[in-house]
Chains A and B, each alone.
Chain A
Amino acid sequence: MNASLWIEHYRLVASASGTLFVAGLYCIIFTHNLIRVLVGIELLTKSVTLLLALAGAVTGRMALAEAFIMTLIVLEVVAIAVAAGLVIGIFKHHGQARTRVIRELRG
C-alpha cells in the first residue's frame, strides 16, 4: 500500500474517525445506563485506532503506527476490564446500573 493511495482517501477515513468519536461522546453524555458509557468509551478508542492507522498509511510509517495500535489495544483492554468491574461494583451496591445513582454524589 503506497502512501499516495491513502492521501487520496484521507478525508474519507479521517471524517469516519470523527463520526465514530462523536458517536462515542454522544453515548457517554446522553445515556442512563452505565454500560452504554463503556460502549461510548470503546467507540472513542476505535476512532483513535482508525486515525492512527490512517496516520501510518499516509506518512509511510505503518510499522510505527501498528506498534502504537497494538500497545493501545492492550492498555485499553485492561482499562475496560477495570471499568467493567466498577460498573459491577456500583450494581452490587445500588441494585441497578443507572447513571442516576452516581449523580447523587454531592457535597
Chain B
Amino acid sequence: MAALLVVLPLLAVVFLNLPHVRLGNRLALLFAALFCAAEGVAALAAPEGFWNRAASLADIGLTLDLTRLLGTTFLVDALARVMFLSIAVVGLCAALVARYAYVDEEQEFRFANLLLLVTAGMNGVVLVHDLFALYVFLEITAVASLVLIVIERGKSAFEGAFKYMVMGAVATSLLLTALALLFIGAGGTSFEEVAAGLRASGTSKLELVALAMFLVGLAIKAGLVPFHGWLPDAYSAAPAPVSVLLAGIVTKTTGVYTLIRLVDAVFGYGEPIRRALLVVGAVSVVIGAVSALAQRDLKRMLAYSSISQVGYIVLGLAAGPGLGLAGAVFHLFNHSVFKTLLFVNSAAVERQAGTRDMDELGGISSRMPVTGTTSVIALLSTAGIPPFSGFWSKLLIIIALWQAGHPGFAALGVAASVLTLAYFLSMQRRVFFGKLAERCSRLEEADAWGLAPALALAAVTVALGVAAPWLFQTFLLPVRSIL
C-alpha cells in the first residue's frame, strides 16, 4: 500500500497527459488535491498494518502486490506517518492557493502535474531505506521544485532557481561522494548495511570524512547557516503557490527530515555529530531570527524565519533520541502548518494588494480581517506562545536540551523565541495593523479558495495547541518508540 504513494501520482500524470484525455485543466488540480487529501487521511486514520499490506482490488479479483513489483519493502513507522501528513496538508493547501492565484488554466494544469510529481518524490524520500534510492528521490524532488519555481518564467524566478540549483548540485555531489565512501566500507547502501559498517569500523578517519560530507550536503539542502544563501532568494522569487510548497514541506523533507532519519537510522547519536548539530542549529536559530528583523520584503522575512525554525528542529535532534527527537518531529510538523499558513496569507496579500514591500503596506487587517487574524495565530505559534502548537514543540525541545546537559543552548532557544516574537510583531504592525496605507484603501478580502486553507491551517494550529497534552500520549510516544 505504501508503494502507491509513489506510483499513483506517476500514473495520474500519465493519465492526465494522454493525448485524447481532455478532462479540463481545472480537473487536473482537483486530481492533485484529492491525492493529497487521500494521503493525509490515510496517514491519520489508517488501521494497523494498512501500510504494509499489498494494494489489492479484491472485488475484481486483482491483487497488485506493488512491493513485489518494485522489489523493495517499505517500512512505515510513526515518523513516516507524520511526514505523510505534513506532505498531504501542505500539498492540499498549495493546490488551493494555485486555484486562488492562477487565472490561466494552462498554468494550473502544469502546476497540478508538477505538484503530483514533487509529491511522488517526497513520498519516495520518506519511504526508502537505502542511501542510493534516497538520492534518486531527493533528485526528483529537487528538479521538480526547480521547474516549479520557474513555472511563470519571471526574471527573479530564474535567478532564485539558478542559485537553488547550484547549491543543490554541490550538495548532491557531496552526498554521493560520501555514499561512495560508505559503500566501500559497508559493501552496500541500505540503511542497515551502512549502519552495521559504521558500527564495525569504529571512528576511522574515512568514516568521519564521509559523515562530515553527508552533514554538509544535508545542511545545504536544509538551508542551515552558513549554507543558507540560496533560501531567501528561492522562497521570495518563486510564485505564490510554489513558495507555499517549498517553505511548507519541500525544503523540510529534503533537508531536515533526511537529516533526522539518517542520524536516527544510520549514523547514530554519537558525540561529534551531536556537537556539530548543536552548533549549526544554534547559529541558524540566531542568524535566521536576526536577519528576519532586517527585511522589507514579506516573503524574505518569512524565509529567514524558516531558517531559524529549522535551527530549532536541529537543536531538538541534537538533544538526542527520546524527548529531543520527539520535540524535533513535533516542531517539524507544526512548522509545516504555521509556515504554510503564513505563506498562504502572504499570497493573499500579494494578490490583493499587488506588493510584498512591507513599507508600502499597512492596516490591511481592517480590510482583510480573516487574513489578519489567521496571521496573528500563525505568528504567535511560531514565537512559541501558549496555547498554540508551537509553544509545546519548542517547550519539548528546550526541556530536552536542558536534560541532555546543554542549559546554555536551552536558554538560547528561549531568547531566540523573544527575537522571533519581535520580528513578527513588527511585521504584523507594519502590514496588518496600524494606519491604513494608501495602496490598501480599497482592498477586498481573498476569495474562498484563498481563505479556506488559511482557516483550516489556523484551526489545526489552535487545535494542536489545545490538545497537545493528550496528543503526547497517542502521537509522540510512538515516535519515541521507533528507537
Residues of A within 8 A of B (CB): 17, 21, 24-25, 28, 34, 37, 41, 44-45, 47-48, 51-52, 54-55, 58-59, 61, 64-65, 68, 71-72, 75, 78-79, 82-83, 86-87, 89-90, 93-94, 101-102, 104-105, 107
Q: Which residues of B contact A64 (CB under 8 A)?
A: 188-189
Q: Which residue of A lies closest to B163 (CB)?
A: A102
Q: Which residues of B contact A89 (CB under 8 A)?
A: 150, 153, 158
Listed by A's residue number, 24 A-B pairs whose Cβ atoms lie within 8 Å are A17-B177, A28-B166, A28-B170, A34-B162, A41-B166, A48-B173, A48-B176, A51-B177, A51-B181, A54-B180, A61-B188, A68-B189, A79-B165, A79-B169, A90-B158, A93-B155, A101-B159, A102-B162, A105-B160, A105-B163, A105-B233, A105-B237, A107-B236, A107-B296
Q: Which residue of B lies closest to A41 (CB)?
A: B169
**Do A47 and B158 form a contact, CB below 8 Å, given A25-B170, A59-B184, A78-B143?**
no
Within 8 A of A (CB), among B169-185: 169-170, 173, 176-177, 180-181, 183-184
Q: B183 touches which one: A37, A55, A83, A104 (CB < 8 A)?
A: A55
Q: A86 touches which one: B150, B170, B176 (CB < 8 A)?
A: B150
Q: Least Cβ distance of A102 to chain B in Å?
A: 4
Bound-complex Cα distance A37 to B159 (A): 14
Bound-complex Cα distance A83 to B155 (A): 15
Within 8 A of A (CB), among B184-203: 184, 187-189
Residues of B within 8 A of A (CB): 132, 136, 139-140, 142-143, 146-147, 150, 153, 155-156, 158-163, 165-166, 169-170, 173, 176-177, 180-181, 183-184, 187-189, 232-233, 236-237, 295-297, 300
Bound-complex Cα distance A65 to B236 (A): 40
Flag if B187 contacts A83 (CB, 8 Å).
Answer: no
Q: Which residues of B contact A48 (CB under 8 A)?
A: 173, 176-177, 180
Flag if B136 contacts A71 (CB, 8 Å).
Answer: yes
Q: Least Cβ distance of A4 to chain B in Å?
A: 15
Q: Which residues of A contact B169 (CB under 8 A)?
A: 41, 44, 79, 83
Bound-complex Cα distance A17 to B177 (A): 10
Bound-complex Cα distance A47 to B232 (A): 30
**Do A47 and B177 form a contact, CB below 8 Å, given A28-B170, A89-B153?**
yes
**From DSSP, what is the main secondary structure of chain A's interface residues?**
helix
Q: Least Cβ distance of B72 to chain A in Å?
A: 14
Q: Which residues of A contact B297 (CB under 8 A)?
A: 107
Q: Which residues of B contact A28 (CB under 8 A)?
A: 166, 170
Flag if B177 contacts A21 (CB, 8 Å).
Answer: yes
**Do A86 and B183 form a contact, CB below 8 Å, given A51-B177, A68-B132?**
no
**Do A86 and B187 form a contact, CB below 8 Å, given A28-B170, A68-B132, A78-B143?**
no
Q: A44 touches which one: B142, B158, B173, B180 (CB < 8 A)?
A: B173
Bound-complex Cα distance A97 to B297 (A): 26
Bound-complex Cα distance A86 to B159 (A): 8
